[in-house]
Amino acid sequence: MRYLYSVVRFVPSPATGEYVNIGAIAGSDETGDWSLRQAGNPRRARLFGPLESLNAVNAFMNEIGSRIDRHALMQSDEVSEGWLRDLHRRHRNVVQLSRPAPVIAESAEEALELVLSQAIPEDQGLGATARGYTTRLRLFSELRASYRRVNIPPSLLRERISVSAGGLSAPMDFVVGNGTALQLTHTWSFQIQSTDEVAKDVKSWGFTVERLLRHGGTVAGENSPVVPPGAHIDVVVAPPLTLPQEAAYEEATKVFDDLGVHAVPETRAADVASEARDRLLADGIALDLF
């Protein structure tokens, strides 16, 4: 799949043109999959320029990250290849972006992995700390890539849709099926600062899912599968890293347990996709497995 990326640069003195790469943005209009990655170790950037300039860079990264997150939740502002090109044109001071270029990858996260392995020196830490924390957007990208790896075609996989039951509606990242929903999947990250908000969101989501499991429901869009009572629902989660996050996670886990929803860590996203493939095959739907 073709993705477009741009490397984010910290340029303390635009007159000299010296810079240090601090992260990258990647995405695709075709898939709607976008992500942002920042170097895990900012030491080189701190040594490179004054603190006030670095604060401007951090503010830029936070603003772009928030915009991409809102886009992923379908709440917002346009995020597109045209938007990325516009960022490249407009930012010419302490924050600059390389000219957007294509890269072939399975997801935006994979594109960033490829790009930053070349653009960021090893001493800036591109291992597990490169992400700092796992966003729901990253979980979504990883799960989408897992579905593709088991050859589930787009015609059987609906993304970022709304499900309705008993007058309530809730978001669902993926619905797998043809005529009847065989698997519904949503992602949740507990590696965030606003733990109270995610706990509230899970409870609100749970109200609709409870009705969905009890009475069945519908999926938004034409020719969408019907959700039968007792439908199989999975959640893929990024588990907590801190004590406050742990408290929110425990609340959410109780909701999942009460609903009978299957919660798995992000490391098992591939298992969720494999299960979806098996359910399609058991339902008599032929897939190209080779």
Statement to judge: residues 124 and 149 lie in one domain: no
State whether 179 and 272 are in the same domain.
yes
150, 258: one domain:
yes
C-beta neighbour count of 75 within 10 angstroms = 8
Whole-number average pLDDT of the chain: 84
Residue 155 lies in a domain: yes
Tokens 């034409």, residue? Answer: 222
Query: What integer is the mean pLDDT of 164-176?
Result: 93
Amino acid, single-letter form, for residue 240: P
Assess whether pLDDT exceeds 90 at residue 207: yes
Helix or strand holding residue 168 (H, E): strand 168-178
Closest CA to 144 of 3, 286, 285: 3
Report yes or no on 289 lying in a domain.
no
Q: Does residue 56 belong to any structural domain of this protein? A: yes
Query: Given this model, what pLDDT does residue 54 score?
Result: 77
Question: How far is the CA of 90 from the CAs of 29, 61, 272, in angstroms?
Answer: 20, 15, 42
Query: Average of pLDDT values for 262-270?
Result: 90
Greatest mean pLDDT among 69-73, 123-127, 191-195: 69-73
Task: Name the strand (E) or helix (H) holding 207.
Answer: helix 195-215
Whether the predicted pLDDT of 153 surpasses 80: yes
pLDDT confidence bin for 133, thresholds 50/70/90:
low
pLDDT in tens, 37-87: 887 656 666 655 566 777 888 889 888 988 888 777 665 568 999 999 999
Same domain, 94 and 206: no
The whole-number pLDDT of residue 77 equals: 63
Predicted local confidence at residue 163, as pLDDT: 94
Q: What angle do CA 51, 52, 54 make, to 5 degrees?
A: 60
From residue 89, alpha-carbon distances to 19, 24, 40, 123 in Å are 17, 16, 26, 30
Q: Domain total for the chain? A: 2
Q: For residue 176, what pLDDT band results from cuts at 50, 70 and 90?
A: very high
- Residue at 81 is within a domain: yes
Question: What are the tens digits of pLDDT across the range 216-248?
Answer: 999 988 888 899 999 999 999 988 877 778 888
pLDDT at 32: 85
Q: Does residue 83 sit in the same domain as residue 31?
A: yes
Point out the domain boundary residue: 78, 103, 130.
130
What are the residues whose beta carbons fall under 8 Å from the beta carbon of 147, sequence distance 6 or more? 157, 174, 176, 273, 276
Q: What is the per-residue pLDDT for 44?
A: 60
Same domain? For 181 and 157 the reply is yes
Per-residue pLDDT at 193: 62
Is the Cα dihedral 218, 106, 136, 189 positive or negative?
positive
Same domain, 110 and 141: no
How many whole angstroms from its chain centre is CA 72?
7
In a domain, residue 290? The reply is no
Last residue of a domain, one of 81, 99, 130: 130
Residue 287 lies in a domain: no
* Of the residues 84, 101, 130, the one at which a domain ends: 130
Better-scored residue on pLDDT, 94 or 272:
272
Please indicate whether residue 20 or residue 288 has the higher confidence score (pLDDT): 20
State residue 47's pLDDT score: 58
d(CA 137, CA 34): 8
Which pLDDT does position 110 carry in this prediction? 84
* Section 186-205 average pLDDT: 85
Rounded-to-integer distance, Cα 10 and Cα 49, Å: 8
Please give the residue range of the domain that contains residue 227.
Answer: 137-282
Contacts of 166 (CB under 8 A, 6+ apart): 208, 211, 215, 217
Q: Do 146 and 277 reside in the same domain of the chain? A: yes
The answer to whether position 224 is within a domain reads yes
Confidence of residue 126 (pLDDT cuts 50, 70, 90): very low
